[in-house]
Amino acid sequence: MVINIRNLQKRVKVGRRLSRGLKKAVLGSFGNRKKGELTLCLVDDNTMKEINLFYHGSDRATDVLAFDISICTKKKKEILADIVISADTAFSNARAFKTSVEKEILLYAIHGSLHLIGYNDGTEEKRKRMEKKSMLILQNVYS
């Protein structure tokens, strides 16, 4: 799988360590579904708010948005997707939860990836299942 990382914001530097972590997190999320291409975009809250308003009609920033592009192609068996992550939100949440910005960004990448393969967090039970899977993947990133 080809994983592209685009840093379109200035708050968080995407160095080698974060880049490797993001790739490991995404690949861990997809399991054996490793054919295709995915782009991870790190943006600021203003950009995230614009994207969220345009695609979902919600006039607020959010932590992560995932877009499955494979539905627009004949290559439906491949992962073709974009995941947009707010670095500003990651920075704020890292302070609030007393964790690192890197960990927050990795969790957002995992969360977006899991949505792309069919996980849903619409109910408490599904949210807990998704959170448990996210923590397992995150542990593998750091191992």
Q: Which 8-state DSSP code applies to residue 31?
A: T
Query: Which pLDDT tens digits describe the chain residue by residue (143 residues)?
Result: 899 999 999 999 999 999 999 999 999 998 877 788 999 999 999 999 999 999 999 999 999 999 998 876 666 678 889 999 999 999 999 999 999 999 999 999 999 999 999 999 999 999 999 999 999 999 999 87
Structural domain containing residue 49: 2-141
Q: Is 55 helix (H, G, I), strand (E, B) or coil?
A: helix
- Give 42's contacts (C-beta < 8 A, 6+ positions apart): 5, 6, 7, 8, 9, 12, 14, 85, 86, 87, 105
The predicted pLDDT at position 32 comes to 78
The predicted pLDDT at position 76 comes to 64
The predicted pLDDT at position 73 comes to 66
Q: How far is 87 from 14, CA to CA, in rounded Å?
A: 10
63, 89 Cβ separation under 8 angstroms: yes
Q: How many domains does the chain have?
A: 1
